[in-house]
């Protein structure tokens, strides 16, 4: 991927069922790369391939509907959730077409899917109609994850997945991520939390000033090695 002022010949490969950690200091271009992959921002040159075939991603809709790529934003309150609305509304926001056909709304099917995600992700809420703003940060984040899981993604980009959540919620989110990887979902985890990167990643890509500074396999991942590339 190339984009003047941001990236120069940036290459990466994501394998099926792996958690690929993406680390870099502020300004390294991690989130900007994610936005290009999902079609939120344009690239000047370069190609993206999914399952060996060239992908034509011009929008987030293309990324999601054509290639099953979801994106958990680092800013859940402004980009991931509608805080004044319910757990149900937020969980099914990206898949409304599954429940609404013309003027027909299959409420029972929608509620069933929401219930399954509340149970599988252990979202602590008294009911589906609870407003998101009344949930803890950890449970809000799990609703964001549920929203994308409802789309049945093959690739999930998770930008700072545990930012602003407590220790208990962090552990739960890590368990969810490991479970998704075992199911064959590929995860790009963008994080500035070094322990998170070290403990959760199958491989780590380190970015510096819009370039790929280094790649570390599982047995090479360590704080010293990562920081050597990052700076």
pLDDT tens per residue, range 38-94: 999 988 899 999 999 999 999 999 999 999 999 999 888 888 899 999 999 999 998
Q: How confident is the model at residue 171 (pLDDT cuts 50, 70, 90)?
A: very high
Q: What pLDDT is stored for residue 55 in this prediction? A: 94
pLDDT at 79: 86
Note the pLDDT of residue 54: 95
Q: Is 199 exposed, middle or buried (0-12, 13-18, 19+ CB in 10 A)?
A: exposed
Q: How many CA atoms lie within 13 A of 18 on its CB side?
A: 14
Q: What are the backbone angles phi and psi of residue 4, rounded to the nearest 5°?
A: -50, 130
100-159: per-residue pLDDT in tens? Answer: 777 778 888 889 999 999 999 999 999 999 999 999 999 999 999 999 999 999 999 999
- The DSSP output letter for 151 is T
Q: Residue 214 pLDDT > 90, yes or no?
A: yes
pLDDT of residue 138: 93
Cα(31)–Cα(191) distance, integer angstroms: 10
Contact 60, 38 (CB under 8 A): yes
- pLDDT of amino acid 184: 96
In the chain, what is the greatest distance between 2 CA atoms, to the nearest angstrom? 58
Contacts of 224 (CB under 8 A, 6+ apart): none
| CA–CA separation, 53 and 182 (whole Å) | 24
Q: What is the 3-state secondary structure (H, E, C) of 172-202?
A: HHHHHHHHHHHCCCEEEEECCCHHHHHHHCC
| Predicted confidence (pLDDT) at residue 20 exceeds the cutoff of 80 | yes
């Amino acid at each position: 991927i190339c984009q003047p002022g941001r990236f120069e010949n940036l290459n990466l490969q994501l394998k099926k069922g792996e958690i690929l950690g993406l680390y870099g200091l502020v300004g390294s271009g991690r989130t900007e790369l994610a936005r290009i992959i999902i079609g939120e921002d344009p690239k000047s040159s370069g190609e993206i391939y999914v399952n060996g075939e060239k992908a034509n991603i011009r929008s987030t809709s293309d990324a999601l509907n054509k290639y099953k790529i979801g994106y958990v934003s680092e800013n859940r309150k402004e980009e991931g959730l509608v805080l004044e609305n319910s757990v149900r509304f937020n969980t099914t926001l990206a898949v409304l077409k599954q429940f609404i056909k013309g003027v027909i709304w299959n409420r029972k099917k929608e509620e069933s899917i929401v219930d399954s995600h509340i149970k599988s992700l252990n979202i602590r809420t008294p009911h589906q109609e609870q407003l998101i703003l009344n949930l803890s940060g950890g449970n809000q984040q799990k609703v964001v994850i549920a929203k994308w899981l409802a789309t049945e993604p093959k690739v999930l980009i998770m930008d700072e997945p545990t930012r602003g959540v407590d220790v208990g919620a962090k552990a739960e989110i890590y368990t969810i991520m490991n479970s998704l990887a075992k199911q064959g979902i590929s995860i790009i985890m963008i994080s500035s939390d070094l322990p998170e990167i070290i403990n959760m990643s199958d491989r780590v890509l380190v970015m510096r000033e819009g370039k790929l500074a280094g790649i570390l396999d599982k047995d090479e991942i360590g704080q010293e090695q990562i920081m050597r590339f990052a700076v």
